[in-house]
């Protein structure tokens, strides 16, 4: 049994090494974008890099983006796992690998163990179906990938919703709008107090008019007059 287990592990390692040798990943200077399919426009690359940096700064999690011309028949999820095993600067437990083969319409995702409590495969599926697929179908791969990274980033770090695009590719963080509490001025407070007092006196007067009056007759008991 032990020998079979060792053999199985060896085959898995060999398989991963073979896959790693099959695919070439050319990461940029920061090491978290590899556009092998050459579909990401410069403006979108800047946005994606900003989202990656923002999530890393806020959470220590790292999103990795990889595009490939072809998967050569290998499932996208397997290739995404290969990327996570490549020894990138972030620990694989903190990595989310988003791998896209646009020419084949395939997307693979690998979520590190520490990230599984932050984003689920169900959430990723919804993002891909609702945000990524429509742009893919129109052939706008760069926009589709950028939307995918943005919405994934927003799930991991919700405060990204307060980030807006100012102009061009310049992005800045916004503060949540501060709502001032309702303020009562002095005159209004006095007016409300007077109105309340007047209403109270009115009620008391009505009550006193309707209250039965007790009268004593001959020193025996109470007599009530209406």
Residues 186-198 have pLDDT tens digits of 555 666 777 777 7
Residue closest to 84 by CA, chosen among 100, 68, 97:
97
Q: Give pLDDT, residue 167.
A: 37
Query: pTM, whole model, 2 decimals?
Result: 0.65
pLDDT of residue 25: 86
- Give yes or no for residue 1 having a pLDDT over 70: no
More confident residue, 226 or 51: 51
Residue with the two structure tokens 């200077």: 29
**Residue-level pLDDT at 165:** 54
For residue 178, is pLDDT > 80? no
What's the average model confidence in pLDDT over 132-156?
95
Q: What is the pLDDT of residue 5?
A: 37
As a whole number of angstroms, the distance between CA 196 and CA 178 comes to 33
Largest CA distance in the chain: 119
Provide, rounded to the nearest whole percent, the portion of the chain with pLDDT above 70: 68
What are 110-122's pLDDT values in tens digits? 999 999 999 999 9
Query: Which of 32-46, 87-101, 144-158 has the weakest average pLDDT?
Result: 87-101
- What average pLDDT does this structure show over 142-149? 96
Residue 40 backbone zone (phi > 0: left; psi -120 to 50: alpha; other: beta): beta
Q: What is the structure's pLDDT at 193?
A: 74
Task: Report strand pairing: 163-167 vs 106-111.
Answer: unpaired
């Amino acid at each position: 049994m032990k020998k079979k287990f060792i053999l199985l592990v060896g085959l898995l390692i060999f398989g991963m090494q073979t896959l790693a040798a099959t695919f070439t990943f050319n990461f940029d200077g920061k090491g978290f974008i590899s556009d092998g399919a050459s579909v990401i426009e410069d403006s979108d690359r800047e946005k994606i890099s900003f989202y990656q940096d923002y999530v890393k700064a806020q959470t220590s999690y790292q999103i990795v983006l990889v595009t490939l011309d072809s998967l050569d028949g290998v499932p996208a999820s397997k290739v995404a796992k290969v990327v996570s095993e490549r020894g990138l600067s972030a620990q694989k437990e903190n990595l989310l690998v988003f791998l896209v083969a646009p020419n084949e319409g395939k997307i693979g995702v690998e979520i590190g163990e520490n990230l599984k409590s932050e984003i689920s495969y169900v959430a990723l599926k919804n993002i891909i179906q609702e945000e990524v697929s429509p742009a893919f179908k129109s052939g706008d791969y760069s926009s589709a990938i950028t939307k995918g990274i943005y919405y994934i980033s927003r799930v991991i770090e919700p405060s990204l919703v307060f980030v807006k695009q100012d102009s061009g590719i310049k992005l800045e963080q916004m503060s949540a709008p501060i709502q001032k509490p309702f303020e009562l001025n002095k005159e209004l407070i006095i007016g409300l107090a007077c109105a309340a007092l007047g209403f109270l006196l009115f009620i008391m007067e009505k009550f006193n008019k309707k209250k039965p009056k007790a009268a004593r007759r001959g020193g025996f008991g109470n007599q009530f007059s209406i």
